[in-house]
Amino acid sequence: MKVDLSKLPDAIVDGKFVVPVKGKVFFERTLSGTTKVHEGTVMKINENGVVDLFDDTVEQFYSFSLHQKLPNIKASS
């Protein structure tokens, strides 16, 4: 899948994750040393800043914290 992330709106604005649960996102993810754009579905946004996604590209769960280095993640327009 070829997606130009620069043309999509940010999923994180002013430190807050703005895509709702069940919303779609595109994000960069590095697996086996290769960084690719993946598509995912927001599953949960915890009160402590952890965002849980289902990575639709490789069919597995993926999580990250808003308090650490953030992945390049965009809202699916």
Query: What pLDDT is attached to residue 71?
Result: 86
Q: Is the dihedral of CA 73, 15, 42, 75 positive or negative?
A: negative
Query: What pLDDT is attached to residue 2?
Result: 82
From the first residue on, what is the mean pLDDT of each consecutive set of 10 residues in the chain (77 residues)? 89 94 95 93 96 97 94 90
Long-range contacts of 57-64 (CB under 8 A, 24+ apart): 57/1, 57/29, 58/31, 62/29, 62/38
Query: What pLDDT is attached to residue 1?
Result: 62
Query: What pLDDT is attached to residue 24?
Result: 97
pTM of the model: 0.90
For the chain, the domain total comes to 1
Query: What pLDDT is attached to residue 5?
Result: 94
**CATH assignment at residue 34:** 2.30.30
Structural domain boundaries, residue 55: 5-75
